[in-house]
Amino acid sequence: MLKTILLIFLFTLPAVACASKAPPSVRAVSSEEQIQIDAARTAFTEKRIDEADLLLAHFVELHPESMLMPEVLFRRGEIAFARKQYDRAEELYRSAISRDARSSYSDRARFKLALALFRRDLHVESLRELTLIDRSKLSPVLRIRLNSLGILNHDHLEATTAHGAILWVLYFIDDDAVLSPEDRASLTELQNIVSIEEAKARIQAWMDDQTVTIADIEALPLEVYRGKKSGGYAYYKLAVTLAKSGQPEKAHEVLQSYVTSYPEHEYYPRASLLLGETGGQIGTHSMKVGIILPLTGKYKDYGEAVLHGAECAIGLYTPCRGPSGIELLIRDSRANPGVAAQAVDDLAMQNAVAIIGPMNSTDAEAAALRAEQRGIPMISLSQKKGVAEIGQHVFRNTLTAESQAATLIDYAVGVRHFSRFFILEPEHPFGKEYADAFEKAAATAGVKIIGRQQYAPHNMDFANQLRADESEHGLSRLLRGGKDAFDAIFIPDSPGNMGYLAPVLDLMGIEKKVLMGPARWNTPDLIERGGEYVEDAIFVDAFVPHVEIDEARLFAERFRDAYHTEPSLLEALGFDSMRMLITGASDGALADPASIQQALARLHDFPGVTGKISFNEHGDAERKLTVLTVKNGEIKPIVGP
């Protein structure tokens, strides 16, 4: 439909040109004309509208052939528009254009003509006028107004033309980038203006829209967008649509151009990954990536899970897909710090450009120290806090206590409007780390921790343990003091212990309080052990394949078919870690440790299957997690408020 509208506008161009009168021969403005127009301008500027209109009407009678007529007619149109006489304004704007289509007032008159038509609900006609305006002659502010009007016109048209609004949204993104602070301030005083936040939301909706066709995209002025931020969206959308339409060769061609033209664009990581899936190669030589994981002993299953995720990212087994040109150098850490450190030395001798692993805390620290000495970027999957702070080459991709606590607090405060929390902390390092993170997140959000109480997780007599604390901020005393003492209780313990704790808490009178917990609650064990007592509990996780997120769902499907098992968070972390290294390698050049380290350091909103990932200043991965709850005995994602 967009292509049809654009063709209609193009075929109307000759008719419009023929309808315009030839401009009168240029002659000097007489002193009488100058005096009269100056008087009218002054009255107009000082908002003496009735007087200005009379002066301008008188000017038309006395000087119908004056070269100032385009301005006179435009100003009379402005007066009619201000009076909401939109049909009269339309007539005057058209007259101003027809007197001299090349005058400095022509494009302004045409824009106001389009606005008058919009106010009369003549949206197709308004769009036709907008497409005839020479954008290059307009100020940034007027271009933003033009784009906004184009967007709003499409909002009023039939649903079949919904894709047409993207033409103006993409223009908007580029024009907004050149606005000065003064320009932005002036826009706040105008009507019918789309905000940059709304424009970005529309871009995102279009990028996610599966009904957009190749024809829709090719109907856009792609050459106008090329090299600009708008082009980064349009050409990536074209590549994705080509790939999904069974045209991988054409998609590959678009992507090859994309990765060299838009290295700083937000969709560059996705484009790099899609390039690999459509047959791309990382660099001109084989890229060697080291893998250091526990592949024997009691941690063997965990190490193999991460390894399989990394294998899937390079398409080692179909139907997993990935770029060619990557060689995995796999080493068994044996859960031994010395072996892990020696593995780094070995990989350096083998010219590995990056390393994934290790996982165990002691292994990770030893290997990270050696990787930093060797200048090899490493993505560790260790839970040990501080590993990434060893040096600039060390990164940590895991589910941190901080990210879980921040997501829980954001949801509880922003959506549920909770303001008071209690922390029930198991006496072990995991419990303390998560309790500290939750307390810090609460302080950042400006909400209160009413109390914090410890218990021995291996002493199953939870009832007596919890009642024994009679301190002012102990759980037992707070509950006796009133049911509104706090809104929710955070318990960073295992699903197994929750099966014992939840009924005890219910007996103590906490049945109306929301239970909150860490990602380890995302398991059927929570429901099997906790039953009705964990109904409505809130927790988080990073990898939720049944949520409608394309990356996670597609990864889960391909992994399941390739390995005949369901992927867990560990496989997902291995997959994301490898894909981050893939995007860090420059296409068409020899990948090297320095370029990959720099790419990882500036990584922002990487589209992982475990969420959008960015590395903070310490080298730790930050991501927005999925909030989960228990409803009718099933774990489900919370969608929307």
Sorted by sequence, the CB contacts under 8 Å of residue 181 that are 6+ apart come out as none
Q: Give the model confidence (pLDDT) of 169-185 as tens digits.
A: 999 999 999 999 999 98
**Which is more confident, 510 or 261?**
261
Q: How far apart are CA 410 and CA 404, in angstroms?
A: 10
Q: Kindly indicate the confidence band of residue 7, based on its pLDDT and cuts at 50, 70 and 90.
A: very low
Q: Under CATH, what is the fold of the domain 401-541?
A: Rossmann fold (3.40.50)
For the chain, give percent helix, strand, coil, nearest 5. Answer: 55, 10, 30
Q: Rounded to the nearest 5 degrees, what angle is found at the Cα of 553, between the Cα atoms of 547 and 556? A: 125
Structure tokens, 357 = 């692993």
Q: Where are the domains of the chain?
A: 1-137, 288-398+549-598, 401-541
pLDDT at 85 over 60: yes
Q: How far apart are CA 441 and CA 158, in angstroms?
A: 46
Which of the four CATH numbers 3.40.50.720, 1.10.3720.10, 1.20.1630.10, 1.25.40.10 does domain 1-137 have?
1.25.40.10
Burial of 288 (0-12, 13-18, 19+ CB in 10 A): middle
* Class of CATH domain 288-398+549-598: alpha beta
Q: Give the model confidence (pLDDT) of 565-583 as tens digits.
A: 999 999 999 999 999 998 8
Residue 3 confidence (pLDDT): 43
Burial of 416 (0-12, 13-18, 19+ CB in 10 A): middle
Q: Give the model confidence (pLDDT) of 447-497 as tens digits.
A: 999 999 989 898 888 778 877 776 766 777 777 666 567 899 999 999 999
- pTM above 0.85? no
Residue 284 confidence (pLDDT): 54
Q: How far apart are CA 376 and CA 379, in angstroms?
A: 10
- Which stretch of 16-25, 76-85, 240-249, 617-626 has the lowest confidence by average pLDDT? 16-25
Q: Kindly indicate the confidence band of residue 163, based on its pLDDT and cuts at 50, 70 and 90.
A: low
Q: Which of 284, 322, 280, 366 is nearest to 574 (CA)?
A: 322
Q: How far apart are CA 95 and CA 106, in angstroms?
A: 10
Q: Count CB neighbours of 481 within 10 A.
A: 10
Q: Which residues pair with 329 in a beta bridge?
A: 290
Q: Do domains 288-398+549-598 and 401-541 have the same CATH topology?
A: yes
Q: How far apart are CA 232 and CA 562, in angstroms?
A: 33
Sorted by sequence, the CB contacts under 8 Å of residue 606 that are 6+ apart come out as 269, 576, 579, 580, 583, 612, 613, 614
Q: Kindly indicate the confidence band of residue 533, based on its pLDDT and cuts at 50, 70 and 90.
A: very high
Structure tokens, 342 = 């020696």
pLDDT at 278 over 60: yes
